[in-house]
Amino acid sequence: MEAAFRTVPVALSDRHLGFQWQGLTYVETCLSFGLRTAPFIFNLFAEAFEWILASFFRWIVRHYLDDFIFILRAGAKAAEIRAVHDDYDSITFELGWPQNRSKDQSGTKIDVLGIEVDTWRMEARLPPKKLAKALHQVSQLLTAGRASMRDTQSVTGLLSFCSKAVRLSRTHLRHL
């Protein structure tokens, strides 16, 4: 989805935040990005949308906030994949939810939330650019001798992300 939070309207009774400029009052009518409760509220809409897709079309569907993953049977033909795209297009059009075409992917190897998933080889791995970035940042941190708290937290966050796909053992990064 594109501009996911902006697709969820805010009830009239909850429109308290706004500003005035040149005699006009401007008020948010949709969820704002950065609003503490926005991910929770949007996730309720996304779960309902996932339920619609899964129950109506009998696909295996999973979502993480505004990213939806459709899992088809092994050996699905091009016509079946096209049907999934067409059905998804028609449902999002009917609901008025804008799509983010730049995220659309299909095949046995796709990028899901920054991790490359290969269903042919049954692997989840880091894309080469992310792996190179992690190796570069770690080597810089190790050779520096000193590091600021911000640099350490940045590398720790990146390593925590990488540990989702590169599992050597348990990560103990919580205290860094």
What does the pLDDT look like over 37-79, one tens digit per residue? 777 888 888 888 888 888 877 778 888 777 788 877 777 788 8
pLDDT at 1 over 70: no
Domain end among 84, 106, 128: 106
Domain end among 106, 141, 168: 106
Q: How far apart are CA 142 and CA 86, in angstroms?
A: 50
Does 140 or 109 have the greater pLDDT score? 140
Same domain, 55 and 71: yes
Same domain, 97 and 111: no
Same domain, 8 and 74: yes
Same domain, 8 and 75: yes
138-142 average pLDDT score: 89
Percent of the chain with pLDDT strictly greater than 90: 5
Same domain, 134 and 100: no
User: What confidence score (pLDDT) does residue 136 get?
Assistant: 92
Strand partners, 9: 30
Across all residues in the chain, what is the average pLDDT? 80
Same domain, 88 and 111: no
User: What confidence score (pLDDT) does residue 132 get?
Assistant: 92
126-144 average pLDDT score: 89
Rounded alpha-carbon distances, angstroms, from residue 117 to 19, 73, 123: 45, 16, 6
Domain end among 75, 106, 137: 106
Could you list the residue range(s) of the whole structural domain that residue 54 is in? 4-106
pLDDT at 85 over 70: yes
Structural domain count of the chain:
2
Same domain, 130 and 44: no
Same domain, 11 and 85: yes
Same domain, 117 and 174: yes
Same domain, 8 and 18: yes
Same domain, 18 and 73: yes
Question: 137-169: string of b/e by CB count within 10 Å (b at 16+)?
Answer: eeeebeeeeeeeeeeeeebbeebebbeebeeee
- Amino acid at site 97: W
Same domain, 81 and 94: yes
Cβ-proximal residues to 86 (8 Å cutoff; 6+ apart), any chain: none
Whether 61 contacts 54, CB under 8 Å: yes
Does 91 or 168 have the greater pLDDT score? 91
